[in-house]
Chains A and B, each alone.
Chain A
């Protein structure tokens, strides 16, 4: 019996990614980020999310993709997982879709330059679109905050 679930679709370097909707708190436009010294480069700093201070990380930089300047389409997706609340800076976030669990396949070793352990699966949807699902607990894993795997993008 295939389970149905909703995912938020966002883009990062022309690829489409998905996060389960129940892990997402809110999606915000870019707001001024306060730099926090002595943190890894992908930690952009902290923002004021309606009175709560939330750290934000640049997902491009987290995955070793080339960083770009934020545009009007850039968004901060606030996710909650592993007891943590963190914002992801992404190129754009524009869709919510329904997926069934049997449409999800285990990811190949490297997808779009991102190591498989950050991914929980790859799903086909619509006409020939490929969605990469993130493994949030690995992305937010703090123990390997320092070791950054670089892959040519």
Chain B
């Protein structure tokens, strides 16, 4: 079978199930008694097993199978969850994740699961009452035991047999053993089945008919059989098949059927096991549709997991489709072309001055701005897709550090552009690790400080204007500012004189300076000294900002400000002689007119008074080596007041053109390291205008 087309579905689904498993395991750890969570976990594991098996990923399937066995005991109250079991199961999840990663990377998804499987088996057999069901699937037993686990009949088969007996048709249990020197076992088995089917009906066989046809059995197999001929004739017919070692035909009556029924009740476990095998075959087909419906579905009885899942999938199919991100990107590109034409049309319309043209263009502008919203929304992904791995990460971290930490996530539904989401994960990992490692104190210190034993780390995301904010706040010891200063001076990040002038916030920001670490000892979690400066540059490369506030003794808050999207921004277009430049509107505080006489020389740098503060003046013409414009010559010149953090600067420009939505374009790989220019855009007249990076103007 051609598997490639299913592989991407498998990878997506497997990722979702692993995530669900992780989340629910964490929930279960908080509430180990809640069987309903176990049911959900069990179902996820079960679906995963079915999917893996149908894709031929044996190791994945066998590991999930063993996990299922453990969970099965738990949900049937035969096993109590404890720390050891949780740890083993989490290890299993990690192993599963590694295998799925391997598959994503083009590997075969194989992994060494023997150790974990053995651990799981040990957990299962460690509970004597529960020992039998998990181990039942062994080699076919040759004894004619009616309660043998693999030969249990379900309700339907039992009632079929019962009816046949009532109608006077003899029912037999037949055990056939083939001679060990037989070369073509499947052929002999086929002949037996052929003989049987000519004279009656096979109700159930073990191993299944398919397995027997594929020679997947040892030497013996057994069937429940409704016969149209009597026992003697039957034995004679079967003995005509050569190379059989023995044929044991045992008649069944109503009494023995009742016994069978009882043993079924008694070992409900095994029956379920058998049913699950049936269900597992159905699961892969149902899985894609059922999976999303799986999670919200209320946990229920649990005897028929797969049936419930596929039923739920049918009635509440998700109203979403998966779209290749490349297609969205090309949609975005095409749309930006359209946007450029729109601006061009608007210009032309204002030149032509015809009412109907102006109206049409205005209408088109409205439609296209709606369209822009939708296109941008298509690319939006909830931050949850990044946040969801943190609870598990914090749990493991806290455990390895011997701390108690609660992670409280709010606003996980906040949406961000896909490109930002892809990049933001690592910086967040770093900041959260930092909070857990350096922020939250060890338990004894917390108690000594009169705080609760377990620390709290808040992870919040929320919208504000054209930005999304992500905050990481801990209630730990806060930033030790004197120590930060001491280290900063020692490492030549600031000089001793400069250090005296720094405000508290500026001292906090020293954490982000290159080559800085406040950890007393270097741990493997954070504090390698290559951390926070990387975080800062990453976030800034995304057009965002990071800041930190802290109160000694009560905690630290990292705040990240991110743009909603990276592809279309509002900008102020300015003219500089014959050239046009764009400034991102987000960094402009206001526009004003500067008189030549207002600009003063202070210590060799030019400053201007702005709202009772003195801010530096930047000449854009000088900075960009404008070929045909100098601001020195003008008595009055227009200026933009721009902001970076809490620093302001005035930028002198020739003329303001106006505000416009612009599409960001890169300058390509040939032109790099242009510190003042962050990109380019195409104006309505088809010309390229460069986008000035305001952050580079404020030092």
Q: Which residues of A contact B (CB under 8 A)?
A: 32, 34-39, 43, 45-48, 51-55, 83-86, 140, 142
Minimum distance in angstroms from B569 CB to a CB of chain A: 16
| A140/B682 in contact, CB under 8 A | no
Q: Which residues on A sit within 8 Å (CB–CB) of B579?
A: 34-35
Given contact pairs A37-B624, A55-B667, A55-B670, a sample of 11 additional A-B residue pairs in the complex whose CB atoms are under 8 Å apart: A35-B579, A36-B690, A37-B674, A39-B671, A39-B674, A43-B671, A46-B690, A48-B682, A48-B686, A84-B669, A86-B668
B268 within 8 A of A: no
Q: Which residues on A sit within 8 Å (CB–CB) of B667?
A: 36, 46, 53, 55
Alpha-carbon gap, A8 to B666, bound state (A): 28
B35 within 8 A of A: no
| B670/A38 in contact, CB under 8 A | no
Q: Which residues on A sit within 8 Å (CB–CB) of B674?
A: 36-39
Alpha-carbon gap, A51 to B336, bound state (A): 8
Residue pairs across A and B with Cβ atoms less than 8 A apart, 28 shown, are A34-B680, A34-B689, A34-B690, A35-B579, A36-B667, A37-B624, A37-B625, A38-B624, A39-B671, A46-B667, A46-B668, A46-B688, A48-B686, A51-B333, A51-B336, A51-B337, A51-B682, A53-B665, A53-B666, A53-B667, A53-B688, A54-B668, A55-B667, A55-B668, A55-B670, A55-B671, A140-B670, A142-B672
| B668/A85 in contact, CB under 8 A | yes
Q: Which residues on A sit within 8 Å (CB–CB) of B671?
A: 36, 39, 43, 46, 55
Using CB atoms, name the residue of chain A closest to B663: A51
Given contacts A47-B688, A51-B682, A53-B682, contact A84 B337 (CB under 8 A): no
| B669/A83 in contact, CB under 8 A | yes
Q: Which residues on B sit within 8 Å (CB–CB) of A39?
A: 671, 674
Given contacts A35-B627, A36-B677, A38-B674, contact A53 B668 (CB under 8 A): yes
| B670/A142 in contact, CB under 8 A | yes
B63 within 8 A of A: no
Q: Which residues on A sit within 8 Å (CB–CB) of B687?
A: 32, 34, 48
Q: Which residues on A sit within 8 Å (CB–CB) of B639?
A: none
Among B340, B666, B675, B682, max chain A CB count under 10 A is at B682
Q: Which residues on B sit within 8 Å (CB–CB) of A45?
A: 688
Q: Which residues on A sit within 8 Å (CB–CB) of B625?
A: 37-38
Minimum distance in angstroms from B679 CB to a CB of chain A: 8
Q: Which residues on B sit within 8 Å (CB–CB) of A37?
A: 623-625, 674, 676-677, 690
Q: Which residues on B sit within 8 Å (CB–CB) of A86?
A: 668, 670
Using CB atoms, name the residue of chain B closest to A38: B674
Using CB atoms, name the residue of chain A closest to B624: A37
Which residues between 519 and 571 of chain B lie within 8 Å of chain A, taking CB atoms? Answer: none
Q: Which residues on B sit within 8 Å (CB–CB) of A54?
A: 668
Minimum distance in angstroms from A20 CB to a CB of chain B: 19
Q: Which residues of B contact A (CB under 8 A)?
A: 333, 336-337, 340, 579, 623-625, 627, 665-672, 674-677, 680, 682, 686-690
Minimum distance in angstroms from A48 CB to a CB of chain B: 5
Pairs of residues from A and B, 6 with the lowest C-beta to C-beta distance, nearest first? A34-B688, A37-B624, A53-B665, A53-B680, A55-B670, A84-B670
Using CB atoms, name the residue of chain B closest to A46: B688
- B665 in complex: contacting residue of A35, A52, A83, A84, CB < 8 Å: A52
Q: Which residues on B sit within 8 Å (CB–CB) of A84?
A: 668-670
Minimum distance in angstroms from B69 CB to a CB of chain A: 52
Minimum distance in angstroms from A46 CB to a CB of chain B: 5
Minimum distance in angstroms from A138 CB to a CB of chain B: 14
Given contacts A36-B667, A55-B670, contact A46 B680 (CB under 8 A): yes
Using CB atoms, name the residue of chain A closest to B685: A32
Q: Which residues on B sit within 8 Å (CB–CB) of A55?
A: 667-668, 670-671
Minimum distance in angstroms from A125 CB to a CB of chain B: 31
Minimum distance in angstroms from B88 CB to a CB of chain A: 48
Minimum distance in angstroms from A148 CB to a CB of chain B: 16
Given contacts A35-B579, A37-B624, contact A51 B680 (CB under 8 A): no
Using CB atoms, name the residue of chain B closest to A86: B670
Q: Which residues on A sit within 8 Å (CB–CB) of B340?
A: 51
Q: Which residues on B sit within 8 Å (CB–CB) of A52?
A: 665
Among B333, B676, B686, max chain A CB count under 10 A is at B686
Minimum distance in angstroms from A4 CB to a CB of chain B: 31
| A38/B688 in contact, CB under 8 A | no
Using CB atoms, name the residue of chain A closest to B680: A53
Minimum distance in angstroms from A55 CB to a CB of chain B: 5
Minimum distance in angstroms from A2 CB to a CB of chain B: 34
Q: Which residues on A sit within 8 Å (CB–CB) of B624?
A: 37-38
Using CB atoms, name the residue of chain B closest to A83: B669
Q: Which residues on A sit within 8 Å (CB–CB) of B337?
A: 51
Alpha-carbon gap, A65 to B579, bound state (A): 27
Alpha-carbon gap, A34 to B685, bound state (A): 13
Alpha-carbon gap, A38 to B692, bound state (A): 13
Alpha-carbon gap, A52 to B667, bound state (A): 9
Alpha-carbon gap, A86 to B579, bound state (A): 22
Minimum distance in angstroms from B672 CB to a CB of chain A: 8
Minimum distance in angstroms from B683 CB to a CB of chain A: 9
Alpha-carbon gap, A140 to B333, bound state (A): 27
Among B333, B665, B675, max chain A CB count under 10 A is at B665
Using CB atoms, name the residue of chain B closest to A39: B671
Q: Which residues on B sit within 8 Å (CB–CB) of A47?
A: 688
| A48/B670 in contact, CB under 8 A | no
Alpha-carbon gap, A18 to B359, bound state (A): 52
Using CB atoms, name the residue of chain A closest to B679: A53
Alpha-carbon gap, A51 to B687, bound state (A): 10
Alpha-carbon gap, A39 to B672, bound state (A): 10
Using CB atoms, name the residue of chain A closest to B333: A51
Minimum distance in angstroms from B94 CB to a CB of chain A: 37
Alpha-carbon gap, A38 to B690, bound state (A): 13
Q: Which residues on A sit within 8 Å (CB–CB) of B669?
A: 83-84
Using CB atoms, name the residue of chain A closest to B689: A34
Alpha-carbon gap, A34 to B671, bound state (A): 13
| B676/A38 in contact, CB under 8 A | yes
Q: Which residues on A sit within 8 Å (CB–CB) of B336?
A: 51
Alpha-carbon gap, A86 to B669, bound state (A): 9
Q: Which residues on B sit within 8 Å (CB–CB) of A85?
A: 668, 670
Using CB atoms, name the residue of chain A closest to B671: A55
Minimum distance in angstroms from A39 CB to a CB of chain B: 6
Alpha-carbon gap, A19 to B115, bound state (A): 61
Alpha-carbon gap, A83 to B624, bound state (A): 28
Using CB atoms, name the residue of chain A closest to B672: A142
Alpha-carbon gap, A53 to B627, bound state (A): 22
Using CB atoms, name the residue of chain B closest to A145: B670
Q: Which residues on A sit within 8 Å (CB–CB) of B677?
A: 36-38
Minimum distance in angstroms from B619 CB to a CB of chain A: 13
Using CB atoms, name the residue of chain B closest to A52: B665
Q: Which residues on B sit within 8 Å (CB–CB) of A48?
A: 682, 686-688
Alpha-carbon gap, A20 to B407, bound state (A): 60
Q: Which residues on B sit within 8 Å (CB–CB) of A35?
A: 579, 627
Q: Which residues on B sit within 8 Å (CB–CB) of A32?
A: 686-687
Minimum distance in angstroms from B278 CB to a CB of chain A: 54
Q: Which residues on B sit within 8 Å (CB–CB) of A46?
A: 667-668, 671, 680, 688, 690
Minimum distance in angstroms from B575 CB to a CB of chain A: 13
Alpha-carbon gap, A64 to B674, bound state (A): 23
